[in-house]
Chain A
Amino acid sequence: EVQLVESGGGLVQPGRSLRLSCTTSGFTFGDYGMNWVRQAPGKGLEWVGFIRRKAYGGTTEYAASVKGRFTISRDDSKSIAYLQMNSLKTEDAAVYYCTRDQGDGNNAKGDDYWGQGTLVTVSS
């Protein structure tokens, strides 16, 4: 059974940093690209970024709203994806979902499996 479990959310002050983890099981993690998607309270879904599988360099893509502040990485030996969030703003407050991309690991195609999400609150 495919499982994705996010952790690391919580309350953080504006300007501070937070790192989210996505621990996965039930599939060969290294064969897939991974996305992060967020949802502000009562709002719609927003794609945050994508990391390719190592076979395609493990390179990353980001939404303009987080580029330069957020970094996605992966540890294939542990089947974990990470989202490092720096210089957090109040508008970054959201539930953050880790997702498995349904594509070939190079071209993002959207999300066939989702974690349960972790809440990030940004407030002083």
Chain B
Amino acid sequence: DIQMTQSPSSLSASVGDRVTITCQASQDINNYLNWYQQKPGKAPKLLIYDASTLETGVPSRFSGNGTGTDFTFTISSLQPEDIAAYYCQQYDNLPLTFGGGTKVEFK
């Protein structure tokens, strides 16, 4: 199975800050990576697929980058509604596997 190592597990930031989350795959997954946002008590929402393609309707302050084994997810200017947990997921091979998640909180 492909292991996805996501860091940090949590972070505190202020409104307007740039936030970056990393996700490392245990083997090359090309660009077969999704990023999800999950707000408390809600289902996850797909933000980015193919490592860097923004899902329709997702604000442009969200972005993704990377290929191979190393990936980043960035919020360019943190907004109050961005407080959530974020997960990466690889789909290069079954089983689909998720990173452990990053909880983004306000400082």
Interface residues of A (CB under 8 A from B): 35, 44-47, 50, 61-64, 97, 102-103, 107-112, 114-117
Q: B43 and A112: CB pair below 8 A?
A: no
Interface residues of B (CB under 8 A from A): 1, 32, 34, 36, 38, 42-46, 49, 55, 87, 89, 91, 94-101
> In the complex where A102-B49, A110-B46 touch, is A44 in contact with B87 (Cβ < 8 A)?
yes
Query: Nearest 3 pairs between A and B by C-beta?
Result: A114-B43, A47-B96, A110-B34
Partner of A108, one of B43, B91, B100: B91
> In the complex where A108-B91, A110-B96, A112-B55 touch, is A44 in contact with B43 (Cβ < 8 A)?
no
- The answer for the CA separation of A114 and B43 in the assembled complex, in Å, is 6
Chain B residues with Cβ below 8 Å from A63 are: 95
Q: A44 and B96: CB pair below 8 A?
A: no
Q: A108 and B96: CB pair below 8 A?
A: yes
Of the candidates B36, B49, B95, the one having the most CB atoms from chain A within 10 angstroms of its own CB is B95
In the assembled complex, 21 residue pairs joining A and B whose CB atoms fall closer than 8 Å, in A order, are A44-B98, A44-B99, A44-B101, A45-B87, A45-B89, A45-B101, A46-B98, A47-B97, A50-B94, A50-B96, A61-B94, A63-B95, A64-B95, A102-B46, A103-B91, A108-B91, A109-B32, A112-B55, A114-B45, A116-B42, A116-B43
